[in-house]
């Protein structure tokens, strides 16, 4: 006999079936209520270490202990509220400057690409180091050991000249693209700061489930409840930028919102 949960997760066919989704969400909520886990109260809020960080989201009043904390203009928000706040603040100006913003994004990404291409057209660090070493050893062999160090200096000069020539030649062939001035420097999204999430307790084992439970199986961007297999745990500060597996750095997102998430330089792999 399959359990009710098995029936919903495995036997019910389509993952887009709304009825199935709602049923699963209800099941998850029930197991949450039934859980004897003292860390989580009836709202799915973690109550642990409350004495450490007496902070609540200024907008929804949720406890932020053990949860991500985002600062905007001196106020501290939960991830979901910060996201909403930034969207609503930026949305007005973004609409007004939509065309300019689009232009700016287009040309600045072109410029980024140009910089990358230039970098790969120049000799690599290794080959530059080889040039310096060859000149230094050559001078040392010709005029004796003392001049080896003068040779390093000469090598650096030679290398600089070679690199500069190559660069000028490349730039002549591939002129630097113009980037229009950035239309908006005051978007709320440029003022957000993540507080904490660098230090803390690392979550082990079933950390994914812990985070999903803490966030009430709710995507922290679109605020919809999803079955666990449609949710992902996201590192607010990306791992590549030093973000750790700390609960204060982890947040629940649905996979659709995760694809578009770009705070703190996050780039989704599937992009
Ligand atoms: Zn909030
Ligand atoms: Zn979502
Ligand atoms: Zn992510």
Listed ranges 69-78, 176-185, 194-203, 258-267; the one with the highest mean pLDDT = 69-78
- Alpha carbon separation from 246 to 32, 204, 264 (Å, rounded): 22, 9, 16
Question: Which ligand lies nearest to the CA atom of residue 261 in the structure?
Answer: 3
In the reported structure, the alpha carbon of residue 28 is separated from the centroid of ligand 1 by a whole-number distance in angstroms of 22
Which ligand is in closest contact with the Cα of 69?
1
With a cut of 80, say whether residue 11 has pLDDT above it: no
- 218-230 pLDDT, tens digit per residue, is 999 999 999 999 9
Alpha-carbon distance of 61 to 80, in angstroms, equals 12
Domain region containing 146: 117-173
Q: How many residues does the chain have?
A: 271
Which ligand places an atom closest to the C-alpha of 64? 1
- Would the pLDDT of 34 be above 80? no
For residue 56, is it within any domain? yes
All residues with CB under 5 Å from ion ligand 3: 234
**207 CA → ligand 1 middle, Å:** 22
From the list 255, 213, 206, 252, the residue with the least C-alpha distance to 233 is: 252
Domain membership flag for residue 213: yes
pLDDT class of 26 with cuts at 50, 70, 90: low
Average pLDDT over residues 175-196: 84
Q: Which ligand is nearest to the CA of 256?
A: 2
Task: Please say whether the beta carbons of 214 and 32 come within 8 A.
Answer: no
pLDDT for the residue numbered 157: 93
Question: Does the pTM of the predicted model rise above 0.85?
Answer: no
Q: Determine, yes or no, domain membership for 72.
A: yes
Asked which of 173, 206, 238 is the last residue of a domain, the reply is: 173
Assess whether pLDDT exceeds 50 at residue 41. Answer: no
Once rounded to an integer, what is the mean pLDDT over residues 132-137? 90
Domain count across the chain: 2
Q: Which residues surround ligand 1, an ion (CB under 5 A)?
A: 57, 59-60, 78, 81
In a domain, 20, yes or no: no
Asked if the structure places residue 109 within a domain, the reply is: no
Those residues with Cβ within 8 angstroms of residue 23's Cβ, 6 or more apart along the chain or in another chain: 8
User: What band does 18 get if pLDDT is binned at 50, 70 and 90?
Assistant: low
Q: How far is the CA of 220 from the centre of ligand 1 (A)?
A: 10
Residues 238 and 202 in one domain: yes
Asked if 9 and 24 touch (Cβ cutoff 8 Å), the reply is: yes
Q: Does residue 171 carry a pLDDT above 70? A: yes
């Amino acid at each position: 006999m399959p359990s009710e949960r098995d029936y919903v997760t495995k036997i019910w066919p389509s993952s887009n079936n709304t009825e199935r989704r709602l049923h699963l969400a209800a099941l998850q909520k029930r197991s949450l209520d039934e859980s004897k886990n003292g860390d989580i109260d009836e709202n799915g809020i973690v109550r642990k270490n409350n004495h450490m960080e007496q902070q609540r989201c200024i907008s929804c009043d949720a406890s932020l202990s053990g949860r991500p904390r985002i600062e905007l203009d001196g106020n501290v928000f939960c991830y979901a509220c910060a996201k909403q706040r930034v969207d609503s603040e930026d949305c007005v100006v973004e609409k007004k400057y939509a065309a300019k913003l689009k232009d700016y994004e287009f040309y600045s990404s072109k410029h980024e690409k140009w910089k990358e291409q230039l970098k790969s057209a120049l000799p690599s660090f290794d080959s530059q180091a080889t040039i310096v070493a060859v000149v230094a050893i050559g001078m040392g062999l010709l005029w004796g050991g003392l001049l080896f160090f003068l040779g390093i200096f000469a090598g650096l000069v030679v290398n600089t000249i070679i690199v500069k020539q190559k660069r000028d030649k490349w730039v002549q062939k591939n002129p630097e693209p113009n980037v229009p001035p950035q239309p908006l420097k005051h978007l709320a999204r440029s003022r957000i700061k993540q507080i904490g999430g660098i230090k803390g307790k690392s979550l082990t084992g079933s950390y994914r489930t812990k985070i999903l439970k803490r966030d009430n199986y709710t995507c922290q961007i679109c605020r919809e409840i999803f079955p666990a297999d449609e949710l992902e745990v996201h590192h607010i500060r990306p791992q590549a930028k030093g973000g750790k597996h700390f609960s204060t750095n982890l947040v629940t997102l649905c996979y659709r919102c995760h694809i578009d998430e770009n705070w703190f330089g996050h780039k989704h792999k599937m992009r």
